[in-house]
Amino acid sequence: MSSFGQRAARAYRKLGWALVRGGPGRAERVLTVRTENGLLSFSNMDLHNARTLYVHRAWEIDLITRSIEYLRREGLVGRPGRGLLVDVGANLGMISIAMLQRGYFRDAIAVEPDPRNFEFLRRNIEQNGLGGRIRAMPYAVSDASGEVELERSEVNFGDHRVRSSRPSAPPRMGEERRETVRAPARRLDDLLRVEANVDPASIGLIWVDIQGYEGFLFRGARDTLARGAPVMSEFWPYGILRSGLDRDTYVEIVRTLFARVVIADAAAGRFEPRDTAILAEIFDAHLRPEQSLQIILFPRVG
């Protein structure tokens, strides 16, 4: 439970956020604050990620620390020769920077397709002294190389998504009105082998948060996944449907490539191993846009 001093500090920073955010007609400003995830710069135009970082001075720290503790107990993090983190949907670098600063991994590859987020990612890597250890790569990750259309949220810079020409659910968050940009796309297998020139056997963890597009990443990462690194992934049924996959297709992709799943409730400190078939049931119970979970997936090796 937070102390009185911590609650008072957050209340003070909420007032500060209202000032730095600005009102109607606001101009964009770059804010830089020290957080539990490192020294981070971001835009005042972002109402979600930036506000959280400014007010709470942390991003998913419980998820990071408790997930690593769980994976260590399972003998899956800290293995010799497995010192590389792959962070897909890296955004501002909150995950990669925190992971390396805490000594969980030696190096990281941070993949982020949005041009504005990518510039902040590079800035944050450098101002935390990690330029020689985190490589930033400006790609979307999909099941085919080429280009994708990226729809950009005006208020949540962590909710930029690959737009599908045939989504499996109607829009409920105003996505159809978003501006779009073209972004280069790579299969994860190709990105790691060609652009990054790394051995997939050196990967200790793949961290994925790409707003429902994870199924496409999995289909383009068969060789990488066969090397056995666990995958920490957002599980967002609404986003999956908007990506163009239906429930059964997504679950079949997971069932084919992964042996088991762990439902991660970091806030409660609970990690529940289940058969991958449970995802169909969980999918149906979390169809509203605001409903999502974190899961850890364990690939079928070989």
pLDDT digits (tens, 9 = 90+) for 132-178: 999 999 999 999 999 999 999 999 999 999 999 999 999 999 999 99
In degrees to the nearest 10, what's the CA dihedral of 131, 134, 137, 141?
A: -170
The dihedral through the CA atoms of 255, 259, 263, 266 has a sign that is negative
Confidence at 1, pLDDT banded by 50, 70, 90: low
Question: What span, in angstroms and rounded, lies between the C-alpha atoms of 135 and 124?
Answer: 12
pLDDT above 90 (res 302) = no
Environment class of residue 170 by beta-carbon count within 10 Å: exposed (0-12), middle (13-18) or buried (19+)?
exposed
Residues paired with residue 162 on neighbouring β-strands, in sequence order: 150
- Average pLDDT of the chain to the nearest whole number: 96
Question: What span, in angstroms and rounded, lies between the C-alpha atoms of 278 and 60?
Answer: 25
DSSP H or E segment with residue 66: helix 61-73
Confidence at 25, pLDDT banded by 50, 70, 90: confident
Q: For residue 30, give the DSSP letter.
A: E
Q: What is the pLDDT of residue 160?
A: 98
Confidence at 224, pLDDT banded by 50, 70, 90: very high
Q: Does domain 61-299 bear CATH number 3.40.50.150?
A: yes
State mean pLDDT over 28-56.
Answer: 96
Kindly report, residue by residue over 82-118, the tens digit of the pLDDT.
999 999 999 999 999 999 999 999 999 999 999 999 9
State mean pLDDT over 28-46.
Answer: 96
Kindly report, residue by residue over 185-217, the tens digit of the pLDDT.
999 999 999 999 999 999 999 999 999 999 999
Render the burial of 86-123: b for 16+ CB within 10 Å, e for the rest: bbbbbbbbbbbbbbbeeebbebbbbbbbbebbbebbbb
Residues 212 and 236 sit within 8 Å (Cβ to Cβ): yes
State mean pLDDT over 50-60.
Answer: 96
pLDDT above 90 (res 22) = no
Neighbours of 280 (CB within 10 A): 15
DSSP H or E segment with residue 71: helix 61-73
Question: What span, in angstroms and rounded, lies between the C-alpha atoms of 221 and 302?
Answer: 13
Kindly report, residue by residue over 240-280, the tens digit of the pLDDT.
999 999 999 999 999 999 999 999 999 999 999 999 999 99
Question: What span, in angstroms and rounded, lies between the C-alpha atoms of 59 and 80?
Answer: 28
Residues 93 and 125 sit within 8 Å (Cβ to Cβ): yes
Q: For residue 27, give the DSSP letter.
A: P
Question: What span, in angstroms and rounded, lies between the C-alpha atoms of 84 and 200?
Answer: 9
Question: What span, in angstroms and rounded, lies between the C-alpha atoms of 141 and 215?
Answer: 10
